[in-house]
Chain A
Amino acid sequence: MREVSRDRIKAFLTLLPSIVLIGIFVYGFIGNTIWISLTDWGGVAALAEHPVKHFIGIQNYVDLFTGFLEGRFRQDMVNAVFYSVSLLAGAVGLGMFIAILLDRKPKGEDFLRTVFLYPMSLSFIVSGTIWRWMLAPQGGVNILPTYAGFKPLTFKWLSAKTTVLAFNWQNLLQIGLYLVAVITIIIGFIVYRNSRSKSVKWLAIGALSGLTAWIGGDMLPKALILEEIHGFNLATLGIIMATIWQYSGYTMALYLAGFNGISQDLHDAAMLDGASTSAYYTHIAIPMLKPITISAVIILSHISLKMFDLIFSMTGPDNAETGHPALNMYLTTFRANEFARGASIAIVLFLLAATFIIPYLITQYKQRRTR
């Protein structure tokens, strides 16, 4: 008994320095940023030795989402969502595909693995600059077809003005409800096999929110006074390509490690039972690697939310077409001296990242307890 408590004290003492340091420099500063985001620190004399700050509640957040002048932030948020989704789909999909190819043990597998993993080791500034050159309107990728005798491409990878999937930010509530409806109905169908009653609940929520959005239509409260169109800017395609190029090697390495961990016996048994190669991967290998998929999604999603240097080096600071909240945060804080507004953007990003990470941590914690 005494032995145990002494061990505990020792463990506590060893952990104490990091607890204190993390407490101050991570959680303390998050707290401080939250506090700043609730003040009006900014504008003239923001950089005085003792700047005057007044508590103004959540006004900064209200302005970000509904203020006339913060349309740029909203476009940045929309960009970030499309960016994250495309990065996840692209990097996980491509990484898995390469991993499956390499798992077939082709000749020179070691060499190829290094080749695909190598982009990870480049700094974003370097790869961003290279990609900016490659995607220049009259050079790089666009003149590739001329080598084969075709006409050069004219697509403007980083400066296209076309927007697809456009929607009006005024109807945010309606769109949100539709999204909820789609997601809950999908969950409902997935759950159907395991539990009928749960499935019905999900489907009911989905139908209800879908109906509200459909019938409510114009009656629903508007988020803005003026019409404001946002959507998926095709100019972000170049940046998405560059990020997928850089990160698919990483997801490949994750999956490859996972595939190697699956015992050869399982593979042989499946083959003996007459499974085809594709059936082996779709029904056995990939479902077994669900934890790896989850960690890849979590890591990539919070990377895409924090993405700064790649975008900065590819399209510069003032390109709203390809903007990202992280860039906006930096410019608002350190160029415009609007410290409170910048802090509120930081907190929005922090909360978004938390929505990915916290559920993950909770399930991990639960799993460990049940074990």
Chain B
Amino acid sequence: MKKLFKMVAALTALCFLGIFQTAQAKDLTGELEIFSWWAGDEGPALEALIDVYKKEHPGVEVINATVTGGSGVNAKAVLKTRMLGGNPPDSFQVHAGQELIGTWVMADRMEDLTPLFEEQGWMSVFPEGLIKLIGTDKGIWSVPVNIHRSNVMWYIPSKLKEFGIEAPKTWDDFLKVAPMLKEKGIVPLALAQNWTANHLWESVALASLGAKKWDALWSGELAFDSPEGVAVWELFGKVLEYTNDDASSLSWQQATDMVVDGRAAFNVMGDWAAGYLSTTKGLAPGTGFGWEASPGTGGEFMFLADSFGLPKGVKNLDNAKAWLVTLGSKEGSDAFNPLKGSISARTDSDLSKYNDYAKSAAADFAKDTIVGSLAHGVTANEGFMNDFASVMEMFLKSKNAQMTAKAAQQIAVKNGIAK
């Protein structure tokens, strides 16, 4: 079995060598402008990727246009003005899924990448569930570079022993131990500013609805103000009672710090927290800090991904296509992801290059049901995401599940998700 695997690996490697040779045979020259928001901690990862590209195409001058700002708040606005002004970059970073489709594909600004996917054999190396979420019936619109998991609950094993509890498997378990923690003066669940409330909401909603109904919510088959939809908000309201009340002035790192310091027991955050805990806080994965799928979502992998697409009317088409090939290649993704702290979207990546957390995440990614994240742009378009932030504020203020569910349904209708 192992031999067979090696042979397959060698064959794929050979295939890629062949492709690289044909690409090199063209001897690309000129420029390539790539637009992203990977300027801070992610800068080195992007550099590694550019290095791979430069090795293959030494004749191309890469212009690395980055606009700082977490999850692209500023970059996206700059990109929009550039696209409206008729000056698209050769390739740009975008959250895979509806954030790309709802904004750029619906506006007919992107090239269909299906031919590229078929030519590179990506149809079989990327999971089917993923390809479905980054495409529409008209085509596939971007090349995913990395995969992050949204539904993860973090804790410190030694502290849990001190508190005398175990990591809860369901929200019911959580609600059982939470009052005891609160009595001791420990915050059961650390929360940070508004977007992390959206982030927690999607984990709670997935637990409450299950993967099937979660998908139904986004295809418009299940209404947000249906009894199931209201139940999500009710559960979310119960969970919120056990969060810290200074949440809105904390960054997600500060909320994670609360768990590390023992001021809080748990934190639901995406798996970029693994990088923060191991690199910045110097804790060992597994022993220093622990993780579980967030309560009630075992066997489900809520993903978000960064990807690059190909806008229509770019100046350096061949260079941009070669860039996408590098992104989707095994070599490229294994150069980028260990540094970024994410896992590769490919199912055949070289796991020896990754840390312990990423190994466990990659194993889950291969076997779990894959669903898309709302807070990070997979399941809903930008209009809905913007309005949802207001709906969330409405709930945080009023704690009225019925009214909030109604409002959520209204914005879903307004943004073309529900009928």
Contact = CB atoms under 8 A, between A and B. Distances in A.
A318 B245 contact: no
B274 interface: no
B390 A69 contact: yes
B84 interface: yes
A316 interface: yes
Interface string A243-281: 000000000000000000000000000000000000000
B5 to A, nearest CB: 45
Nearest to A316: B193
Given A158-B248, A336-B383, A47 B393 contact: no
Interface in B362-401: 381-383, 385-387, 389-390, 392-394, 397
Contacts of A330: 77
A370 B398 CA distance: 57
Nearest to A71: B394
B103 A47 contact: yes
A158 B249 contact: yes
A48 interface: yes
B103 to A, nearest CB: 6
A193 to B, nearest CB: 47
A319 B76 contact: no
Interface stretch (B105-113, B201-209, B218-226, B345-353): B105-113
Contacts of A71: 390, 394
Contacts of B390: 69, 71-72, 320
Interface string A273-304: 00000000000000000000000000000000
B246 A43 contact: no
Interface string A221-258: 00000000000000100000000000000000000000
B120 interface: no
A51 B415 CA distance: 17
B411 interface: yes
B410 A316 contact: no
A318 B193 contact: yes
A157 B249 CA distance: 9
A315 interface: yes
Nearest to B251: A316
Interface in A91-137: 132, 135-137
B394 A47 contact: no
A335 B80 CA distance: 9
Contact of B386 (A44, A48, A336): A336
B246 A338 contact: no
Contact of B248 (A47, A72, A321): A321
Contact of B249 (A44, A68, A156): A156
Nearest to A136: B249
Contacts of B385: 335-336
A14 to B, nearest CB: 32
B303 to A, nearest CB: 22
26 contacts: A42-B383, A44-B416, A46-B103, A47-B83, A47-B84, A47-B104, A47-B107, A48-B107, A48-B109, A49-B108, A51-B107, A69-B407, A135-B249, A137-B250, A156-B245, A158-B249, A159-B246, A159-B248, A235-B248, A318-B393, A319-B248, A319-B393, A321-B248, A335-B385, A336-B386, A338-B383
Given A48-B107, A51-B107, A318-B393, 6 more contacts: A43-B416, A48-B106, A48-B109, A319-B194, A330-B77, A332-B386
Interface of A: 42-49, 51, 68-69, 71-72, 132, 135-138, 156-159, 161, 235, 315-321, 330-332, 334-338
Interface of B: 73, 76-77, 80, 83-84, 102-104, 106-109, 193-195, 245-250, 381-383, 385-387, 389-390, 392-394, 397, 407, 410-411, 414-416
